[in-house]
A and B are shown apart, each in its own frame.
Chain A
Amino acid sequence: MVAFFVILTIIGFILVDSLVQWAEARQGRAPRRTVPHPEFAPVLALETVSVPAGLFLDEGHTWVRLEPSGRTLIGMDEFARRVIGRVDAVELPNVGSVVRRGDPLFAITQNGRRAVFRAPLTGVVSAINENLARLPETGRMDPYEEGWVCALKPKDLAAHLRHLFVAEEARAWLRWEIERFKEFLTLRPMPQSALGQVLQDGGQWAEGVLEMLDEASWEEFARTFLRSPRASAE
C-alpha cells in the first residue's frame, strides 16, 4: 500500500516536471539561460563574428575543438549561426556512426528548408548534444560552448587537421567569407518588406538574414558557403 503510493507519488512528480518543461519549451523560454535574450534583435555587424583562437575551422563553417583525451567536439561556427538565425530543428548523427571527412554530419532546418553541414574530420560519433534536439535554439548566443553538436573520436586526425584553419588563418578566412557573403547578398532578390537601409547606405544585415531569402538563395548558400555534400539532396 505504502510502497504503491510512494511509487505513484514519485512518478507523479516526474510527470508534472515533464509537463512544466514542455510548457516552458513551448513558450520558447529556454529555462535558466546564462545569456539573456536580447530585447531587440541585434543588428548583425558581420565584422564582429569571431572565433576563439584555439578552435579549428572547416571550410564548411564547422568548428573543431581538440581535447586532451583525443576526442573532438564539433559545432557550427558563429558565422553560420548568425546568418541562418532561427533554427527549427537540428538533425543529429547517430552515436556510434562512422563518418568520413566531407560526409554529411548534421543538418538544421528552418521553415522546412534544410542545410546540411559536412563533417570536418573522419571518425566515430561518440556523443551528441541532446539539448539541441530538444531546444534547437540552444547556443544561439554561444555557438562555441553550449551550441556544440557532437563529439567525434577522430581517425587520421593529423592528416585532416591540415585542411582546417586555426588562429590568424581562421580569422583571415572568416573575414574573407564575410566579404564573400556580402557580395552574395547583393545579388539576391530581397523581399520588399526587408528593404530599409541597404548595404550601400552602410547598412548592416539583421541577424538571420537567410530567413528572408528564397529557396534558391538558400540552396546557393548551402552549396557555396556550407559546401554541403551531394547527399544533401537525399
Chain B
Amino acid sequence: MTRWSFRRPSFWQLVFAVILGAGLYSTVVRFTGGLGASTALSDAFPWGLWVGFDVLCGVALAAGGFTLSAVVYIFNIERFRPIIRPTILTAFLGYVLVIVALLFDLGRPYRIWHPLVMWNPHSVMFEVAWCVMLYTTVLALEFSPMVFERLRLERPLRILHALTVPLVILGVILSTLHQSSLGSLYLIVPEKLHPLWYSPLLPIFFFISAIALGCAMTIFESFLSYRAFRKRLEIDLLSDLGKVIVVTLAVYLVLKVQDLAGRGVLSRVLEPTYEGRMFLAEMLLGVIGPILLLSLRRIRTDHFGLFVSAVLVVLGFIMNRLNVSITGMEASSGVSYFPSWTELSVTLMIVALGFALFGAAAKYLPVFPETERLLASSLVEPPAVAVLRRPWIGTTPLVLILGGLFFIGAMGSAYSGLQHRERTLAAVSTREESEPQIAEGLKHLEVPPDVTFPQGEASPGPVIFRHASHLNWERPDCTICHHEPFRLLKASGSAASSPARDLHDERHCGRCHDGRTSFSVKEDCTACHRP
C-alpha cells in the first residue's frame, strides 16, 4: 500500500493561504489601477492604514533591535545576549516589510530611489528616507552572520565580527534618528493634527515609546517562538525587560502629562469627544495598564502575566501611532476615512509574510543558537525570599482580571468615542461649506520688508523693491513669484551683489516688467532706479 506523505495543513497555514491570495489580488489591483482604484485615500486624506500601521508600526517593531543591541554591545550587559539574535531578525524583517509597504503606498513607487540622488536636506521625508535606507543596510549586516554561519563562510564572518561594534553604534544612532524623525514628520502639520497629539515633543514621544515597544516586542516575540518551536523561555531576562518597560512608560506618562498641561489641553483629555476618548483608550491600554501590571513582581515573573502585559503595550502603541496618523487627522480633513478591503488585505498580507519569514528564518538559520544556554551567564538572582505562602488569588486570574479591566476600559472608551465621531466630522464639513473669510485673513497679513538692491557698475542708482506694491491685495498669492523666479533671493534686504543684467532678464524682474503685464525694464530707468 502506498502511503501518501501529504500532511493535512494546519489551521494557520490555511488562513495564511487565504490572506496571501487576497493580498496578491489587491497587489495586482494596486499596481495596475493605482492608488485611487485600490484605496479609500483621497487628496484630503492622503495617508491611511498603509502609513499608519505598516510603516509607523513596522518601523517600531524594529525598536527592539536597537534597544537590545545598545544594551548588550554598548552598555555591555552581556546576559541579554541570548535573545539578541531573534530581536535583530525581527528588526530586519520589520524594515524590509516597511520598504515593501512603502512600495505600495508611494504614488510612484519606481521613484523610491530619488532621495538617494536628489537631495533636499530641508525635508523631513529626506531624513526619513535616508534613515530607512541606512538602517536597513546596517540591519542586513547585523543579520548576515546568521546566514554566513549557516553557509559556513568563515572569512565574511570574521570581517563582520570585527565590524560589530561600529555597526551597532551606527545602528543605534540611525534608529534613534529614524524613530524620532517619524514623529518630526507630524511636526509639519500643526493645524491638521488634533492638539491632544500634536506637540513639539512628538519626536521625543515617538522615541521613548519606541524603546518601551522594543522591549515589549522582544517579550511578545519570545512567546511566539516559544509557541511555535517550544523553545525554552528566558523568563528571568524577559521579566527584567518588564522592569525596563515600567520605567520607560512612567517617563513617557510624566512627559505626556507635563506636555498636555504645558500646552493647556489637559482638560480636553476627559472631554466626551471622539479624540478625547480615543486618547484615553490609548493611554489606558498602552501606558497605565502595563505600568500597573508589570509593577507587580508576581505578574512580571509569570509567563502569562508577562505575555498579557507585552500585548497591552504593543496594542496601546499601535493605537497611539494610528491615532497620530489617522484619528487625529480626521477632524481637520473633514473626510471620513476607513480603509478599503484592498488596503486591509495588503496589510494583512504584509504582516502574514512577516510571520512566515520569521518562521522560515528560525527554522533554517541559527537564530536560537545551540550554545544559547551556555551564553546565558550570570543570571539574575531572584530575591531570596520564600514565596511559600499561597497568595489569595492565583496569578493567572489576577492577570486576566487586571488586563481584562484595562482592555475593556480602553475599548469601551474607544467605542464611546466612536459615538462622537459622526458629530465631529459633520461639524467640520458644515464649516467647510461656508465661504473662506478672506477679509478676516487680510487684516492679519504681514508682507515682508522692502529689499534694497545696491547700485551696480553702470547702474543709474539703487533699487528698492517693495513687497507691498507687488501684491494683489484682493487675493494675495506669494507663489506667483516665489515658486520659480525669485526662489533663490532671500529677503535679506541687502543683496550683496546685484548683477543688473540678470535681474533684468525674464527669469527675474523682466518676467513681468515686459511691457505687457507691466511697464518694460527697457523703458524709464528711474521708475525703479532712484538716484
Which residues of chain A have a CB within 8 Å of any CB of chain B?
Answer: 1-8, 10-11, 14, 17, 20-21, 31-32, 67-71, 94-98, 124-131, 138, 146, 148, 153
Contact = CB atoms under 8 A, between A and B. Distances in A.
B384 A124 contact: yes
A67 B374 contact: yes
Contacts of B302: 95
Given A2-B338, A124-B384, 9 more contacts: A1-B326, A1-B337, A1-B338, A2-B49, A4-B415, A7-B319, A67-B373, A94-B387, A98-B385
A55 to B, nearest CB: 14
Interface in B186-245: 227-230, 232-233, 235-236
B52 A2 contact: yes
B176 interface: no
Contacts of A67: 373-374, 376
B364 interface: no
Nearest to A123: B384
B246 interface: no
B12 interface: yes
Nearest to A146: B230
Interface size class of B (residues with CB under 8 A): 35 or more
A95 B376 contact: no
A4 B236 CA distance: 33
B11 A20 contact: yes
B381 A124 contact: yes
Contact of B323 (A3, A69, A96): A3
A71 to B, nearest CB: 5
B303 A130 contact: yes
A131 B230 contact: yes
The residue among B10, B379, B407 with the most chain A CB atoms within 10 A of its own CB is: B379
B382 A153 contact: yes
Nearest to A125: B382
Nearest to A2: B326
A127 B303 CA distance: 10
Nearest to B337: A2
Given A14-B311, A68-B377, A130-B233, A2 B339 contact: yes
B436 interface: no
A1 B327 contact: yes
B230 A138 contact: yes
A209 B383 CA distance: 41
A126 B319 contact: no
Interface of B: 10-12, 48-49, 52-53, 227-230, 232-233, 235-236, 278, 281-282, 285, 301-303, 311, 315, 318-319, 322-323, 326-327, 330, 336-339, 373-374, 376-388, 407, 411, 414-415, 417-418, 421
Given A3-B326, A21-B227, A127-B235, A153 B381 contact: yes
B327 A3 contact: yes
Contacts of B330: 1
Contact of B382 (A2, A11, A95): A95
A89 to B, nearest CB: 15
B296 to A, nearest CB: 13
Given A8-B411, A124-B381, A95 B235 contact: yes
A101 to B, nearest CB: 15
Q: Nearest 6 pairs between A and B by C-beta?
A: A3-B322, A96-B382, A4-B414, A69-B377, A130-B303, A94-B387
Nearest to B307: A14
A126 B338 contact: no
Contacts of A95: 235, 301-302, 382, 387
Nearest to A69: B377
A32 B318 CA distance: 31
A93 B228 CA distance: 25
Contacts of B339: 2
Contacts of B418: 1, 4
A6 B379 contact: no
A4 B379 CA distance: 40
10 contacts: A1-B421, A2-B322, A3-B327, A6-B322, A7-B315, A10-B315, A67-B376, A96-B383, A130-B303, A146-B230
B278 A127 contact: no
Contacts of A70: 378-379
A173 to B, nearest CB: 26
Nearest to B15: A16
B113 to A, nearest CB: 30
The residue among A11, A69, A125 with the most chain B CB atoms within 10 A of its own CB is: A69
A153 B382 CA distance: 9
Contacts of B278: 3-4
A173 B401 CA distance: 50
A1 B319 CA distance: 10
The residue among A70, A94, A148, A153 with the most chain B CB atoms within 10 A of its own CB is: A94
A124 B382 CA distance: 7
B436 to A, nearest CB: 28
A140 to B, nearest CB: 13
B230 A32 contact: yes
A98 B382 CA distance: 10
A69 B303 contact: no
Nearest to A21: B227
Given A20-B12, A95-B301, A7 B386 contact: no
A11 B319 CA distance: 13
B387 to A, nearest CB: 5
A3 B283 CA distance: 13
A218 B386 CA distance: 31
A72 to B, nearest CB: 11
B398 to A, nearest CB: 14
A39 to B, nearest CB: 12
A4 B411 contact: yes
Nearest to A65: B373
Given A2-B327, A129-B232, A97 B322 contact: no
A181 B322 CA distance: 65
Nearest to A129: B232
Contacts of A20: 11-12
A131 B236 CA distance: 16
B315 A98 contact: no
A126 B379 contact: yes
